[in-house]
Amino acid sequence: MSAPSRLPTPWLPKLVIAPSFILAFLFIYGLIAWNGYLSVSESRLLPNYDFAGLDHYLTLWDNERFRVAMTNMLIFGVLFIGGSTLLGLLLAILLDQKIRAEGVLRTVYLYPMAISAIVTGTAWKWMLNPGMGLEHLMQSWGFAGFSFDWLVDPDRAIYCVVIAGVWQSAGFVMALFLAALRGIDDAIIKAAQVDGASLPRIYWRIIIPSLRPVFFSTVLVVSHLAIKSFDLVMALTAGGPGFATDLPATFMYAMAFTRGQIGLGAASATVMLATVAAVVVPYLYSELRTKKG
């Protein structure tokens, strides 16, 4: 009989994953640290490592375009997160009724998430263009007074980004809620029905409150998508009209790569990182507390 194979030494798995860990550490955390230093350096057109303190941050908060970007981030974030969550939940409840052609509908709802944000932005740019999209179509059908020019209206263009973003993300949110709904014990629903509770009341009083962990995870994921939104805005409005639909990500790109203001762009990226951390860190803290408890 052959001798039993020897178990791998304890250090072998660590040795195998060490290269990928080192590369990830360098290219993620190393570049984050580098960006942080550029934000407090004298960098302009090219990196300059002379220390400048918080000058770029002070310039950033005095910059009207950045203030517009942060205001848009608030508007887009609230409407995008709320709209995606509400629509995704409603679609999940609809499919949870085990209706006919559920598989086809689920695929249709999930399809937008399978395409890139560039494609989404381009498609909605065509549909919302007053000269060739929805407005033109309705007027050609005889509704001469119909007008939908939000895409070229500086005060309303950001809502076009919200519409496209919700359309793309609602299917993903639906999948999360639908998986949670299918995991609820049917006995709970049957017991409530025996007590005379209507289906809407069962969902409102029993099922939806039990989905709190899913709500929390959904808001976390969608918030992350909202904060780092870039390609959708660039494809749909390119930040325009003017800079009316700028978000922090597009502002950072414009400063660092088209205006030659590397330090200012790095400061904007650091503010974005701090915003993401403000969303993620409380979630991680709550998860760690739950596991320790």
CA atoms within 13 A on the CB side of 107: 4
Whether residue 153 is contained in a domain is answered as yes
Show Cβ contacts of residue 210 under 8 Å, excluding neighbours closer than 6 positions: 184
Is residue 73 within 8 Å of residue 227, measured between CB atoms?
Answer: yes
Whether residue 48 is contained in a domain is answered as no
Given a cut of 80, whether residue 9 has pLDDT beyond it is no
In the chain, count H helices and then E strands.
14, 0
Q: What is the pLDDT of residue 290?
A: 67
Q: How many domains does the chain have?
A: 1
pLDDT classification of 70: cutoffs 50, 70, 90: very high
CATH classification at residue 213: 1.10.3720.10
Is there a cis peptide before residue 209, judged by omega within 30 degrees of 0? no
The rounded percent of the chain whose pLDDT value lies above 70 is: 95
Whether residue 248 is contained in a domain is answered as yes
Would you give the DSSP letter of residue 237?
Answer: T
CA atoms within 13 A on the CB side of 260: 3
Query: What are 72-129's pLDDT values in tens digits?
Result: 999 999 999 999 999 999 999 988 887 787 788 888 888 888 888 999 999 999 999 9
Whether residue 12 is contained in a domain is answered as no
Query: What are 143-199's pLDDT values in tens digits?
Result: 888 888 899 999 999 999 999 999 999 999 999 999 888 888 778 878 888 888 888
pTM: 0.85
Residue bearing the bigger pLDDT, 285 or 182: 182
Whether residue 46 is contained in a domain is answered as no
Q: What is the pLDDT of residue 89?
A: 93
